[in-house]
A and B are shown apart, each in its own frame.
Chain A
Amino acid sequence: MQSNTNSESPSSISAEARLEYTLQLADDALIIGHRLSEWCGHGPILEQDIALTNTALDHLGRARSLYQYAAEQFNNLPADAKSKFFTSIALQQLIASGSSIGEDDLASLRDGWDYRNALLLEQPNIDWAYTVARSFFYDSFNFLYFKQLSVSTDATLAAIAAKSLKEVTYHLRWSKEWVIRLGDGTEESHSRMQTAVNDLWMYTGELLSPNNTAQQTGVDSAALKQPWTDIITDVFKEADLKLPAGTWMQEGGRNGRHTEHLGYILAELQFMQRAYPGMEW
């Protein structure tokens, strides 16, 4: 029997679209987690070094849950869909061999064009202000996003979001406070903060661009734009920072078109598994 209802039940989304969407969320988490982990041992002060390492681990933990869910979805696809879904050679070879894939394969064997993370998250740390600005834009988005995702029609995503929301609430508290400290600090900290905000602004649009699959699981990214802008505006006011005037936004990450930075991240992140396939430690 064919159903032509336009219900919001999870079954109305194609399996590929759901997998694509899960990977977007997972890749966002892995890439920001990796970027923040680069501060480990290099933080400006021991206490902040630990703070960022904790946060990086929150993101990596979320990435793991999402990759496990993505791998489960992938392994349930029909053989034909499986062979076409990824175009990274190392992963294709594994799939062609007939074995099922796992969370590590998704993280280690996909090339840049198969990564769906937002461009903002792969931008380099540069200095404390850039790191804080990138986190603040993402954390305030995440905070709103996971609130909605936690009541998603997709039970697994809802459960992951509910757990993440507590972590994200703290991440936002941390990054918001640093934006205010630097913005409303010394002349130098203010100018560095404003520069970082101006430079990263063009990557914020991608986070908020509409996503049909997300909408069908209960999250309307585009509807988050206003509340997100409100958070940013309020904090910038307190931090004495100017909201960048630019409206042109850079996109592409969701479709696998990345900035030059992602390749370097993957080279570091994937080296061991590429050089010693299947290695465990």
Chain B
Amino acid sequence: MEKEITNKNEWPLWEVFIRSKAGLDHKHAGSLHASDAEMAIENARDVYTRRMEGVSIWVVESKNIHASDPGDASSLYEPATDKIYRHPTFYNLPDEVKYM
């Protein structure tokens, strides 16, 4: 596997996602340095689950995350602001429908 290491003295950066006991999904907890995935999981255990925060850990190397360009924000997100009818609260839910 080829690795892009910008500073040869530094381990690659990883993003850490933790699923808490009560939660169903993994949430971004922060980032850390590690030389490979196995070490990243162990480092995440030591850095981000010390106070009983989690029951499951995902890690992904930061370079593999692709982000939207903040400069595109106006065209990406603003068109949604005047379309409130897309919110489910716009509709009246029949009493028979549970768990929405």
Contacts and interface: CB of A to CB of B under 8 A. Distances in A.
Contacts of B38: 177
Interface string A67-89: 00000000000000000000000
Interface in B17-51: 32-35, 38-39, 42-43, 45-47, 50
Given A47-B32, A47-B33, A47-B34, A177 B42 contact: yes
Contacts, number: 27
Interface stretch (A48-56, A216-224, A238-246): A48-56
A54 B50 contact: yes
A271 B7 CA distance: 43
A45 interface: yes
Interface string A34-46: 0000000000011
B47 A50 contact: yes
B18 to A, nearest CB: 15
Contacts of A173: 42
A51 B46 contact: yes
B43 A48 contact: yes
A50 to B, nearest CB: 5
Q: Is the interface of A mostly helix, strand, loop or mixed?
A: helix
A173 B60 CA distance: 21
A24 to B, nearest CB: 29
B42 A51 contact: yes
Interface residues of A, number: 12
A143 to B, nearest CB: 17
Interface in A88-120: none
Given A45-B11, A45-B33, A47-B34, A54 B46 contact: yes
B46 A177 contact: no
A174 interface: yes
Interface string B47-77: 1001000000000000000000000000000
A92 B38 CA distance: 51
A47 B43 contact: yes
Interface string A224-245: 0000000000000000000000
A170 B49 CA distance: 13
Contacts of B47: 46-47, 50
Contacts of B50: 50, 54
Contacts of A48: 43
Given A45-B33, A177-B38, A50 B11 contact: no
Interface of A: 45-48, 50-51, 54, 170, 173-174, 177, 181
12 contacts: A45-B11, A45-B33, A46-B47, A47-B32, A47-B33, A47-B34, A47-B43, A48-B43, A50-B47, A51-B46, A54-B46, A173-B42
Given A45-B11, A48-B43, A177-B38, 18 more contacts: A45-B33, A46-B32, A46-B33, A47-B32, A47-B33, A47-B34, A47-B47, A50-B46, A50-B47, A50-B50, A51-B42, A51-B46, A54-B50, A170-B45, A174-B42, A177-B39, A177-B42, A181-B35
Q: A-B pairs with the 6 shortest C-beta distances?
A: A47-B43, A51-B46, A50-B46, A47-B32, A50-B47, A54-B46
